[in-house]
Amino acid sequence: MSGKIIRLTAHDGTPVEFVDEVKGAGGLKDCYFAPDRSYVVLFYRDKVDAVGKDRLQSIVGRFKDNIFNQAGGAYWEKLYCWPDRIVEWNGRIGITVPFYARHYFFEHGSKSGDMLKIKGREKEGKWFASANNRAKFLDPRELGTWATHLRMCLMLARAVRRLHMAGLAHSDLSYKNVLVDPVGGNANIIDIDGLVVPGKFPPDVVGTPDFIAPEVVASARLPRGDPNRKLPSIQTDCHALAVLIYMYLLYRHPLRGRKVHDQDTTRDEELSMGGRALFVEDPKDASNRINPKGVRPSELPWADTGARPYTLTGPYLSPLFLRAFTEGLKNPQVRPTASEWESALIRTVDLLQPCINPACEQKWYVFDNSTRPCCPFCGTPFRGLLPVLNLYHATHKPGEFRPDNHRLMVYTNQSLYLWHASRSVAPNERITPEQAQRVGYFVLHSDKWWLVNERMPDLYDAGAKAAIPVGQKVELKHDQQILLAKGEGGRLLHVQMVGAR
């Protein structure tokens, strides 16, 4: 590093060092690196007013404490780049923020010898949410699989859910302010210093184009103090979250179709993203379908909603997309919450099936509940006998079980976890290391599917009326019932065998 090292004392009394060399510049701040690159210092270019200082004090103080100093708080360190100190230098206010984890930087970069010079740069989501960018520019080793994209979306939904639980809105969720790692299935929310608290801290920005909620776009020309002017909030975050998940799974924008509302491009943009926003896959109005003949070849087949419909995301995500981009466009109150997306993504992960075609780009797909499952990405049908496990939970009445609307697909080395065995355990930030260990796994041997018991003392074959001790296995058969755990909330598996020869 060529610049000299600046040494300061943060407002909390701790020492801060950074190299006097601007390493990056955003819309509002300049970025400087600590000498050891363990954190960055971001200085605001413009003067920060009293409300802004109060907001920053709250973000590095009580907001941070309420999230990170609670049960499971350490979990959030991998999902947020949260500001932790306030500094002043040369009359400017700044904050320190932890440096991004290594997997949020491009390892291989772009095609053709990194022609875009992105190797070593941070992974902005725009590279992975566009079919054109993925096909034309990125090294295939950077793309991940459809399964890792699902996990990436799950991490994002979980992080947004926690913000909203604390009464906070990000206000500018977009692929610029969410770093992603499609290879490892990770996501990290950045630019947290603009958090919105209704009635206390108003938004600094209205958002990023493509992710601004329709009501915000439609009222943007009104004066800021007008009661009809809509500003970023938890509800607008929910719109942006739905757009992000849709784009990370389907590589197209849910509102950008063929329909032209006005010959003036600025006015057309306002209408198509605002008051006349229309889902490109709206089942009742096909006027905004994407025209496959009007897009670049590199955008196909993803731009063809007939070839890649949103329904391929499965029975849990599809209804949320439909609600978010039909009724939810006009009525923010009915938009799916981050918690709903999190739950749907967890269940969708359990429906994943590996594609048997080694050349399949996406590698995984969601079981479509058919007797002849087929990969929607490459068209390869599943061959063999496929176990589908329907989950039921025990009620407080002995011997009574109720359906969970939750299925688990089986494939070789598929793991079974405690949250599958018991409804009282959830796979979220509160789970302990012991609870996170798998309790069993599935294996195909001699054309028979087996469940191997690793850590389930109550495993019981209800049909055969036989216990399956830890270390033993049980063969999966059609219409079989297997008890995973005793007591209220304990799960029962009902086995369906789908034949696809």
Query: Are 397 and 321 found together in one domain?
Result: no
Query: Are 340 and 283 found together in one domain?
Result: yes
Query: Are 336 and 271 found together in one domain?
Result: yes
Which of 65, 99, 133 lies at the terminal end of a domain, its last residue? Answer: 99
Per-position DSSP letters for 186-254, written without gaps between them: EEEE--GGG-BBTTTB--S----TTTS-HHHHHTTTS-TT-TT-----HHHHHHHHHHHHHHHHHSS-S
The answer to whether 492 and 393 are in contact (CB under 8 A) is yes
Give domain status of residue 373, yes or no.
Answer: no
Query: Are 45 and 151 found together in one domain?
Result: no
Give domain status of residue 354, yes or no.
Answer: no
The CATH number covering residue 78 comes to 3.30.200
Query: Are 130 and 86 found together in one domain?
Result: no
Query: Are 201 and 336 found together in one domain?
Result: yes
Query: Are 147 and 273 found together in one domain?
Result: yes
Predicted confidence (pLDDT) per residue in 287-312, tens digit: 999 999 999 999 999 999 999 999 99
Per-residue pLDDT tens listing for the chain (501 residues): 467 899 999 999 999 999 988 888 777 889 999 999 999 999 999 898 888 899 999 999 999 999 998 888 899 999 999 999 999 999 999 999 999 999 999 998 788 777 788 888 889 899 999 999 999 999 999 999 999 999 999 999 999 999 999 999 999 999 989 999 999 999 999 989 888 887 788 787 788 999 999 999 999 889 878 889 998 999 999 999 999 999 999 999 999 999 999 899 899 999 999 999 999 999 999 999 999 999 999 999 999 999 999 999 999 999 999 999 999 999 999 999 999 999 999 999 999 999 999 999 999 999 987 667 899 999 999 888 889 999 999 999 888 999 999 999 999 999 999 999 999 999 999 999 999 999 999 999 988 999 999 999 999 999 899 999 999 999 999 999 999 999 999 999 999 998 744
C-alpha–C-alpha distance, residues 348 and 366, integer Å: 7
Question: What is the widest separation between alpha-carbon atoms in the chain?
Answer: 77
Domain total in the chain:
3
The CATH number covering residue 309 comes to 1.10.510.10
Going along 34-177, which residue ranges are E strands?
39-44, 85-89, 92-98
Q: How many CB atoms lie within 10 A of CB 222?
A: 12
Give domain status of residue 110, yes or no.
Answer: no
Domain extent for 57: 5-99
pTM (2 d.p.): 0.94
Give domain status of residue 111, yes or no.
Answer: no
Give domain status of residue 115, yes or no.
Answer: no
Give domain status of residue 361, yes or no.
Answer: no
